[in-house]
Structure 1
Amino acid sequence: MGPVLMIAAAVVPSLLILRYFVKSDRFPEPTRAILGTFFLGVLIVIPVLVVALPLGAALEPRIGQPLALAGVQAFLLAAIPEEAFKLAVLLLYCRRHKAFDEPMDGLVYGVTASLGFATLENLLYVVGGGEGWIGIAVLRAFTAVPGHAVLGAIMGFYVARARFEPERAGAMLWAAFLVPMALHGLYDFGLLGAALTEEAGWIGLGLIVLIVEVVWALRLQRRLRREQQVLLSAQAAATLAQSPTPPVELEPAPRSTSPYKID
């Protein structure tokens, strides 16, 4: 029973967050596309390790200053390769999928790819946590896992803008990589800085970055949901306009309202 609980503790947080974002899409994506994106996110752990392990072995012994080492580990060994390969999944698989046909899709696929990576990463941390695996699972369920998800949402938002605003595609694709990479690196730098310098104050940087990421991603999600509601309303109006002309009323009918409130 212990191994089952350990695996569940590592995997369930990712699945709950994934369900939240998938269900928030008013035009749901095909299950096959979601599963394909998720498992590609899992698979990119391999090239990330292929890049990070030899690079770390070559660089880390040469760096004696703790904060410099934290910077190398946070950016060169984690943020840059991880976000680069997540972006590759979005560009080489998701963006080419016929189901990627409106802006919210970018956000959903970005979250999905990131959570595929986060699920395997989390499983490795929890299983390798020894007797303290419960604490690791709980801590990561509220930090690293949602952090990966919201970075994927931000990345996917910019990928979608590149797709649907081709005149700005170059700038949007650079933003799709640089923004999540910078946020990821700063978050890791705060945690690693605290661990390597034994100064707990650096943790504050990581927490601030995590809060910024979450708020930013949720605002983008809300913005795209409003856009979807506008589209739904337009579709409903078009359907009504094509319906047979209703009988003439002697008095004006009361003004109808949308079932959704748009702030």
Structure 2
Amino acid sequence: MEDPVESRADESEDLYDVASWEPRTALDRLAVRVHQGGRRLVRLTLYVLGFVIFVGILAGGAGAIIIDNPFVLGLVVLSVVPAGLLALYVYRTDVTTKEPATLIAATFVLAILFAGFAAVVNSTFGAIQQAGLIGLVLYYYLVVGPGEEFVKLLAVRLYAYRDDRFDSVIDGAVYGAVAGLGFATIENVLYITQNLQGSGAVLTAVAVDFLAQFSEAVEAGGQITAVRSLAGPGHVIYSAFAGYYLGLAKFNRENAIPIILKGLIIAAFIHGTYNVLVGIVPGLVSLIVPGVPVLVLFFGFVVVYVGLFFFILYRKLQRYRRRYKEVHDDVENPAEMTPELTEFDPDAG
């Protein structure tokens, strides 16, 4: 969009500070530096706050349990294996240039640090859950889902997104998946250590050899590890959706904010729906099919729910791969590219 003066003026006419602008004077350059410095300060503040909250969380008990019982880390690693494999799959679907390890690692670490922001928000509004079923639904849809998906996307937006090597839409899905893996990792650390602490399970010094200590760790936290191993892939899928739309926004700057919001809404809705249904569906099914352990029904629900949205994500990523290959395999006679409806648009089949 152009100003009426700029649109009708001769190209040779200087419209600086009339209808156009560029940094020319010392004051202009100062304004640019203040703007850039302010953005850097905001990023630095978020990094520091995230680190402080992270240290506070570890100091609250999780760190001590891990130091005293290092085999707990083995349970954490086991709990994130499914999420890690899923993130690896998303990474391998990137048909463009592969993402550098530095950006992958930075995104993973930032997601761990920023998870503390979500923990603070969840704790602040946790009282909403006391309002019965309605309160629980509102809490998951308006607090947990949006809050956790926002901080995961923030981990991508503040670093990898700004790098020139983030050079395709599908890169957003890759970094979103990595952010989901980072978030799931620290979340599993907290769940596993809190479960061990709450159950009174202690890995004693009696188990002096490696196998005995590891066996004791598995016995104490095996069930929560299995449960968390199924929750992790969801985080990867939710944030891969949001990340994909962040990538789409990077290459459609005129509509960037609505595109980012669309991705966040999709991710938060899938996330919130999972949290609501996972506490209801297994119990209801157990009434219809008595005799089946609720834990088995829980596993079944998670596999079906996560599998459904993994399939939708798979289709989205394959659509991008197909179009990428079409335009690169036939450069001289490119196919007519007509936009396709997504799975989330109302007129999609």
Q: Give the shorter-chain TM-score range.
A: 0.7 to 0.9
Match of 2:250 in 1: 163
> Kindly, what percent of the aligned residue pairs are identical?
28
Instruction: Give yes or no for the alignment of 1:138 onto 2:204.
Output: no
Aligned to 1:227: 323
CA contact (8 A) 1:156 1:176 kept: yes
Farther-moved stretch of structure 1 (120-129 vs 99-108): 120-129
Give the corresponding residue for 1:260.
Answer: none
- The alpha-carbon distance between structure 1 residues 112 and 137, as it changes in their structure 2 partners (threshold 3 A), is same
The structure-2 alpha-carbon separation of the partners of 1:4 and 1:187, relative to structure 1 and needing over 3 Å to count, comes to: closer
SS in 2 for 1:128: helix
**Normalising by the residue count of structure 1, what TM-score does the alignment of the two structures yield?**
0.76
Q: C-alpha deviations, 1:38-77, integer Å up to 9, x for none?
A: 1111111111111111221x4344x1x2x22321342244
Asked if 1:35 is matched to 2:105, the reply is: yes
- Cα distance, 1:92 vs. partner? 2.5
Please tell me the residue identity of whatever aligns with 1:220: K
Counterpart among 69, 80, 87 of residue 18 in structure 1: 87
Q: How many Å separate the matches in 2 of 1:38 and 1:91?
A: 12
Q: Is the 8 A contact 2:115 2:152 kept in 1?
A: no
How far the C-alpha of 1:138 sits from its partner, in A, is 2.6
Task: Letter of the 1:137 partner, please give it.
Answer: T
Question: Which range moves more in the overlay, 74-83 or 8-17?
Answer: 8-17
Residues 1:44 and 2:114 aligned together:
yes
Q: CA deviation at 1:194?
A: 5.2
Find the aligned partners of 2:318 and 2:275 in 1 and give their Cα distance: 27
User: In the alignment, which of 75, 90, 94 is matched to residue 156 of structure 2?
Assistant: 90
Deviation at 1:187, TM superposition (A): 0.7
CA contact (8 A) 1:183 1:209 kept: no
> Which of the two has higher C-alpha Rg?
2
TM-score normalised to structure 2 length: 0.59
**Aligned residues: CA RMSD:** 2.8
| Segment drifting more, 124-133 vs 6-15 | 124-133
**Structure showing greater relative contact order (alpha-carbon pairs closer than 8 Å, 6 or more residues apart):** 1
User: Which of 97, 117, 120 matches 2:183?
Assistant: 117
- The 2-side partners of 1:191 and 1:153 are apart by 21
Q: C-alpha distance in 1, partners of 2:105/2:327?
A: 27
Counterpart CA distance in 2 for 1:121 and 1:92 is 21
Does 118-127 or 38-47 show the bigger shift?
118-127
How many residues align? The count is: 230
The answer to whether the 8 Å contact 1:151/1:217 transfers is no
Q: SS of 1:42's equivalent? A: helix
- Which whole-Å CA distance do the structure 1 matches of 2:223 and 2:129 have between them? 28
Structure 1 residues 7 and 187, CA gap change in structure 2 (3 angstroms): closer
Distance 1:77-1:171 versus aligned 2 partners, 3 A rule:
closer
1:190 is aligned to 2:256: no
Q: For structure 2, which runs of at least 5 residues remain unmatched after alignment? A: 1-69, 197-218, 287-296, 334-349
Q: Is the 8 A contact 1:70 1:192 kept in 2?
A: no
Structure 1 residue identity aligned to 2:235: H
What secondary structure sits across from 2:158 in the alignment? Answer: helix
Q: Does the alignment pair 1:172 with 2:259? A: yes
Deviation of 1:96 (Å): 1.1
Amino acid at match of 1:227: R
CA contact (8 A) 1:104 1:224 kept: yes
Cα deviation code 1:112-168 (max 9, x no counterpart):
111110111122223333456323323332x31111111111111111111112343
Once the 2 structures are TM-superposed, how far is the Cα of residue 211 of structure 1 from its aligned partner? 3.5
Contact 1:114 1:148 in 2 (8 A): yes
Mean Cα displacement is larger for which, 104-113 or 169-178? 169-178
Aligned counterparts of 1:224 and 1:230: Cα–Cα separation in 2: 10
User: 1:98 and 1:184 mapped to 2: Cα distance?
Assistant: 30
Quick one: structure 1 residues 5 and 206, their matched pair in 2 at CA, closer, same or farther if it must change by over 3 Å? closer
Segment drifting more, 128-137 vs 148-157: 128-137
CA contact (8 A) 1:79 1:182 kept: yes
Cα displacement string for residues 157-199 of structure 1 (whole angstroms, at most 9, x for unaligned residues)? 111111112343233111011110011101101123458xx54
**Alignment check: 8 A CA contact 2:169 2:247 kept:** yes
